Amino acid sequence: IQSVEGHIRFEDVWYQYQGEDEPALRGVSFDLPADQTLAIVGRTGSGKSTLVRMIPRILDPDHGRVLIDGHDASAIPLNILREHIGYVPQDVFLFSDTVANNISFGNQEVGQEAIRAAADEADLLENVEDFPDGFDTYVGERGITLSGGQKQRTSIARALIRDPRVLIFDDALSAVDTATERNILRSLRERQGSHTLVIVSHRLSAVQDADLILVMEHGRLVQRGTHDTLVDEEGLYADLYEKQLLEEEIEAL
């Protein structure tokens, strides 16, 4: 196996962290064709991050199987898996280095144009152009301090520059505002058809256009469907959606 197309299938996946009394995932099964967008929503601690960490094999199931393109993920060499799967966590790690090197991740073959394009897609370009030395500006201990949102967008640009077949956002837009989030997701959807997109988000506005939405509760998959079908169903998704609409209305006052 030398490449990944992006078809993801979970078959009765269970997982329990060491020292925990309850499983983090309980019998999760779903099928996502390549080049589609999957969104995973649910309250804090419902198992969303555990689920997506199975895809690049940061975690392996205790029971059940994760299949990538019909192959058991454990049978795909890790270097192949990680080369074709971009994973953007909520907590970002940046080097004390230039913005450009943080985006290119030390890959010397990456040109300046590719770095600019990735920053643009991550809605970071305007910010970088305002920095004292642009892409050569140092961040971290020896340079400027980036905001939480700027760090997340740098991490997103780092994932985009590799042009992965599967792109996973593990609540990676939590520190950006709604408008920025919308811009980033729009540019990602314009790329759609060339990759599978997996989004974990607390903001339902981020997931409304997904081909498939999975709703998690206590490690179980309790609902699945599109935004419209889930809003019509009386269930957790509709409750979360109504609550967020109300919060947005209150904020707008």
Asked if 236 and 223 touch (Cβ cutoff 8 Å), the reply is: yes
* Per-residue pLDDT at 203: 86
pLDDT tens digits along 201-253? 988 888 898 999 999 999 999 999 999 999 999 899 999 999 988 888 888 77
Q: Which of 86, 80, 66 is nearest to 11 (CA)?
A: 66
Average pLDDT of the chain is 91
* Per-residue pLDDT at 172: 85
Task: Compute the radius of gyration of the chain from its Cα atoms.
Answer: 19
Q: Which of 22-31, 143-152, 204-213 has the lowest mean pLDDT?
A: 143-152
pLDDT band at 192 (very low <50, low <70, confident <90, very high): low
pLDDT tens digits along 66-114? 999 999 999 999 999 988 999 999 888 888 899 999 999 867 788 999 9
Asked if 118 and 82 touch (Cβ cutoff 8 Å), the reply is: no
* Per-residue pLDDT at 62: 98
Q: Which of 25-29, 50-54, 160-164, 171-175 has the lowest mean pLDDT?
A: 171-175
Asked if 27 and 14 touch (Cβ cutoff 8 Å), the reply is: yes
Domain spans of the chain, in order of start:
8-96+166-252
pLDDT > 80? residue 194? no
CB within 8 A of 160, min separation 6: which ones? 86, 118, 121, 122, 167
* Per-residue pLDDT at 146: 87
Asked if 149 and 92 touch (Cβ cutoff 8 Å), the reply is: no
Q: Which fold has domain 8-96+166-252?
A: Rossmann fold (3.40.50)
Backbone dihedral angles phi then psi of residue 98, each to the nearest 5 degrees: -75, 160
Rounded CA-CA distance 135/129 in Å is 7
Ramachandran category for residue 134: left, alpha or beta (phi over 0 → left; psi -120 to 50 → alpha): left
* Per-residue pLDDT at 252: 79
The amino acid that residue 253 corresponds to is L
Query: Three-state SS string across the chain, please?
Result: CCCCCCCEEEEEEEECCCCCCCCCEEEEEEEECCCCEEEEEECCCCCHHHHHHCCCCCCCCCEEEEEECCEEHHHCCHHHHHHHEEEECCCCCCCCCEHHHHHHCCCCCCCHHHHHHHHHHCCCHHHHHHCCCHHHCEECCCCECCCHHHHHHHHHHHHHCCCCCEEEEECCCCCCCHHHHHHHHHHHHHHCCCCEEEEECCCHHHCCCCCEEEEEECCEEEEEECHHHHHHCCCHHHHHHHHHHHHHHHHHC
pLDDT > 70? residue 142? no
* Per-residue pLDDT at 10: 98
